[in-house]
Amino acid sequence: MAPAIFRQEVEDDVLDTYFSNQKPGYFIEVGAFDPELLSQSKRLEDNGWSGLMIEACEEHAIRCRKNRTSKVIQVACGSPAQHGTTMKLAKLGGLSTVRADRFENDRRYDEYEIVSVVTLDSILEAQQPTSIDFISIDVEGAEMDVLAGFDISRWKPPLVLIEDHIENDSIHRFMKAHGYKRVRRTGDNSWYVPSPDSFNVSLFGRWQLLRKYYLGRPLRIVRTRRWRNSLRRK
């Protein structure tokens, strides 16, 4: 009985399994952070893929440019309503975010950077890739904003990774409405493929996903509230 939930460190194995019979393609990584550490695109690049790394934080973008061959764009991706504006990026390494309001009870941010915001569609219009074979969206709470500015029905990437923290069903509802099904979980990330895709999820894997996303949610909410209350008392 093959599992469907893994540690984040095995994400390269998920990529290798899914693309085992495919020639090098094109990837998009929104929220690149580090050129190697927990990168969802480094293995693909090493295997001959080309792609685009999008990173809002200047120092992270510089590090990616120095250590990767793929094109790096320093900007934050947002919704159409946010396009052309600037936002305050709260800096905390890989936990940096333009949605610090969502984590104010959990994290302490001491450094900030003003970043430009555009839609992912506007970037793709400028770069003009012929197709997208894999997209990763890991932007610490702003994932729905990125999806709002991305015409997923036009591009139809065959494999999608999205960080979701299982806070609610908004991301899953969006993906399901656009014809995708969830097939794996690694760390805080959900993996989606188009519903007709035959990518296998075992009966045990289905049970794992059901337990993780639905059956275990009430207890997880209680634990999170207790943890946040303990932080407030410190």
- Tens-digit pLDDT profile for residues 98-137: 665 655 555 566 778 898 999 999 999 999 999 999 999 9
| Cα–Cα distance measured from residue 22 to residue 219, given in angstroms and rounded to the nearest whole number | 41
Structural domains in the chain (count)? 1
Residue 18 tokens, joined: 């899914």
Question: What is the helix (H) or strand (E) element at residue 231, kind and residue range?
Answer: helix 217-233
Tell me the H-state helices in 137-216.
Answer: 143-148, 152-155, 170-177, 203-210
Please identify every stretch of the chain with a pLDDT value under 70, giving residue numbers as ranges: 93, 96-109, 217-234
- The whole-number pLDDT of residue 216 equals 73
Three-class DSSP category at 107: coil
Report the length, in residues, of the chain.
Answer: 234
- The whole-number pLDDT of residue 231 equals 42
- The whole-number pLDDT of residue 72 equals 98
- The whole-number pLDDT of residue 182 equals 96
For residue 74, is it left (φ>0), alpha (ψ between -120 and 50) or beta?
beta
Lookup result for tokens 């990518």: 199
| Cα–Cα distance measured from residue 223 to residue 230, given in angstroms and rounded to the nearest whole number | 11
Could you list the residue range(s) of the whole structural domain that residue 181 is in?
Answer: 5-232
| Cα–Cα distance measured from residue 60 to residue 64, given in angstroms and rounded to the nearest whole number | 6
Asked if residue 165 lies in contact with residue 221, where contact means CB atoms within 8 angstroms, the answer is no
- Give, in degrees to the nearest 5, the angle at Cα 132 between 129 and 137: 115
- The whole-number pLDDT of residue 200 equals 86
- The whole-number pLDDT of residue 89 equals 85
pLDDT digits (tens, 9 = 90+) for 55-77: 999 999 999 999 999 999 999 99
What are the DSSP E strand ranges found in the chain? 5-6, 26-30, 50-54, 71-73, 76-77, 86-91, 111-118, 134-137, 159-163, 180-186, 189-194
CATH number at residue 215: 3.40.50.150
